[in-house]
């Protein structure tokens, strides 16, 4: 057993740290979040040059062949700067699904483009009624000639606006909550019948509700076996959850550092407020939550590539539950300890709070994962 990073991993960490330091000052981030796009295409190009967009893909397709540990290193450090580029949506989710389920032609058509930074992806899985259940899919895909016709409504698709291609989960058979009968399709974002409602989310990112009305796709749009996509989706979403846990750890650590500094600087009653014991203890609790989360995030990164799917799912559910409740606590208390200053949008701490708030929700909130763990562990 070893929780230490290798030399190579340390190099990756340093390089992401440097990127964040150079490009993600609080002011720069706020400016970027306020642009129409919500992130920077230049940053994206830079990430491609640094090889990051190929991080988890096999070397045969031009990737870096990294494991979940490398992804976690990357995400943790991006989390500390609240990086806005759609790495998770494009590389981990979209790229992950294609790499996992795609045939040779699909992989070749998409993954190198992703790695070079020429193609962005998004994963449209949630629906208005589905909450966090990946198996709750009402969007339908009906066979028609050589291909399929898609109809349905996908909700809160992160980075659905800027994705060139959207990976859509749709039902080819079965009842609306059956695990079997779900298929994945690669859909061009500008296809006829795709209409989007684009919007900003509270964490400074972009998302969209996507309506599919008689969207025609060819047989080559089907990713993997028809009706058998659920285990693939679950596996890739587990990878995304692990990545989000790492992002949350980075964000919590940064929020704690900012708050800790503030407690030393801010004076009231003639003394730094960090001298008040009630705030000291609160800060210790925040620190402990971040530490516990870091351990769970490391644990899940190391367990993610296990063949035993139940073990993997348990690890993921436990990690997300811990990280979720910690994210809430740290985010909210960071605001509290800043007083009025924490409420201003101009100051960075509120942005950490808001991202930690959505991280708690994404891919299942704390309650959802406690329930899931309980079901798996019983």
Partner 1 sequence: MDLSFSKEDLAFRDEVREFLATSLPADVKDRCDRGLHPTKEGQVRWQKILNEKGWMAPNWPVEYGGTGWTFTQKYIASQEFGHASAPIATPFGVSMVGPVIYTFGNQEQKDKYLPRILNSDDWWCQGYSEPGSGSDLASLQTKAVRDGDDYIVNGQKIWTSYAQYADMIFCLVRTDSSVKQQEGISFLLIDMKTPGITVKPITVIDKEHSLNEVFFEDVRVPVANRIGEENKGWTYAKFLLGNERTGIARVARSKRQVERLKEIAKTELSGGRPLAEDTDFNNKLTRIEVDLMALEYTELRYLSMIASGKQLSAEPSLLKIKGSEIQQRLTGLLVESLGMYGAPYEAERAYEGRNEAPVGPDYAHGPMAEHLYLRASTIYGGSNEIQRNIVSKMVLGL
- Note whether 358 binds partner 1 by CB under 8 A: yes
Strands 206-217 and 271-272: unpaired
| Parallel, antiparallel or unpaired: strands 165-171 and 182-188 | antiparallel
Footprint (CB under 8 A) of partner 1, residues 180-199: 197, 199
For residue 336, state whether it binds ligand FAD (rule: CB under 6 A): yes
Nearer to partner 1, 190 or 277 (CB): 277
| Selected range binding ligand FAD among 12-20, 130-138, 169-177, 276-284, rule: CB under 6 A | 276-284
Distance CA 203, CA 253 (A): 17
Q: Which of 75, 83, 156, 300 binds partner 1 (CB under 8 A)?
A: 156
Using the minimum distance from each CB to partner 1, give the nearer residue, 292 or 332: 332
Q: How does strand 206-217 pair with strand 182-188?
A: unpaired
**Residues 6-45, interacting with partner 1 (CB under 8 A):** none
Q: Cα–Cα distances in Å, from 210 out to 111, 155, 168, 218?
A: 24, 7, 10, 20
278 binds ligand FAD (CB under 6 A): yes
Indicate whether 203 belongs to the interface with partner 1 (CB under 8 A).
yes
DSSP 89: I
Q: Closest approach of Cβ 346 to ligand FAD, in Å? A: 13
Candidates 42-50, 225-233, 247-255, 273-281 — which segment interacts with partner 1 by CB under 8 A?
Answer: 273-281
Q: What is the DSSP letter of 80?
A: H
Nearer to partner 1, 40 or 358 (CB): 358
Is residue 347 a contact residue for ligand FAD (CB under 6 A)?
no
Binding flag, residue 284, ligand FAD (CB under 6 A): no
Q: 209: closest CA among 127, 87, 137, 95?
A: 127
Q: Tokens 């989960």 correspond to what residue?
A: 169
The answer to the question of residue 354 lying near partner 1 (CB under 8 A) is: yes
Identify the sign of the CA torsion 69, 73, 79, 80. Answer: positive
Contact 120, 186 (CB under 8 A): no
How many Å separate Cα 329 from the centre of its chain? Answer: 20
Of 51 and 272, CB closest to ligand FAD: 272
By the rule CB under 8 A, 291 interacts with partner 1: no
Q: Residue 268, interface with ligand FAD (CB under 6 A)?
A: yes
From CA 349, how far away is CA 197, in angstroms rounded?
29
Q: Does 177 bind partner 1 (CB under 8 A)?
A: yes
Q: What do you get for the CA distance between the two ends of the chain, in Å?
A: 27
Fill in the per-residue mask, 359 to 378: x = in contact with partner 1 (CB under 8 A), - = not in contact.
Answer: --xx--x-x--xx-------
């Amino acid at each position: 057993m070893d929780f230490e990073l290798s030399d190579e991993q340390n190099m990756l960490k340093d390089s992401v740290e440097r990127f964040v330091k150079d490009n993600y000052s609080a002011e720069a981030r706020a400016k970027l979040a306020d642009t129409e796009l919500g992130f920077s295409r230049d940053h994206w190009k830079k990430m491609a040059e640094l090889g990051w967009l190929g991080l988890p893909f096999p070397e045969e397709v031009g990737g870096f062949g990294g494991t979940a540990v490398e992804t976690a290193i990357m995400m943790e450090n991006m989390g500390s700067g609240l990086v806005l580029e759609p790495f998770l949506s494009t590389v981990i989710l979209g790229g992950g699904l294609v790499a996992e389920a795609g045939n040779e032609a699909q992989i070749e058509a998409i993954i190198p483009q992703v790695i070079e930074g020429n193609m962005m992806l998004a994963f449209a899985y949630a629906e208005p009624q589905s909450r966090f259940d990946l198996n709750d899919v009402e969007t339908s895909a009906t066979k028609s000639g050589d291909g399929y016709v898609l109809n349905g409504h996908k909700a809160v698709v992160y980075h659905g606006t800027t994705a060139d291609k959207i990976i859509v989960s749709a039902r080819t058979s079965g009842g609306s909550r059956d695990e079997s009968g779900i298929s994945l399709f690669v859909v061009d974002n500008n296809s006829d019948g795709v209409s989007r409602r684009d919007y900003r989310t509270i964490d400074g990112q972009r998302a969209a509700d996507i309506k599919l009305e008689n969207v025609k796709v060819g047989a080559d749009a089907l990713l993997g076996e028809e009706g058998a996509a659920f285990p693939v989706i679950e596996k890739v979403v587990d990878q995304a959850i692990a990545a989000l846990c790492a992002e949350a750890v980075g964000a919590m650590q940064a929020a704690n550092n900012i708050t800790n500094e503030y407690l030393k600087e801010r004076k009231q009653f003639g003394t730094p407020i960090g001298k008040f014991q009630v705030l000291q203890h609160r800060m210790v609790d925040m620190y402990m939550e971040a530490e516990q989360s870091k351990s769970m995030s490391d644990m899940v990164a190391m367990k993610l590539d296990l063949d035993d799917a139940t073990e993997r799912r348990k690890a993921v559910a436990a990690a997300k539950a811990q990280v979720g409740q910690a994210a809430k606590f740290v985010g909210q208390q960071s605001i509290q300890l800043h007083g009025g200053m924490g409420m201003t949008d101009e100051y960075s701490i509120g942005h950490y709070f808001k991202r930690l708030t959505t991280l708690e929700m994404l891919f299942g909130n704390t309650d959802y994962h406690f329930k899931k763990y309980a079901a798996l562990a019983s």
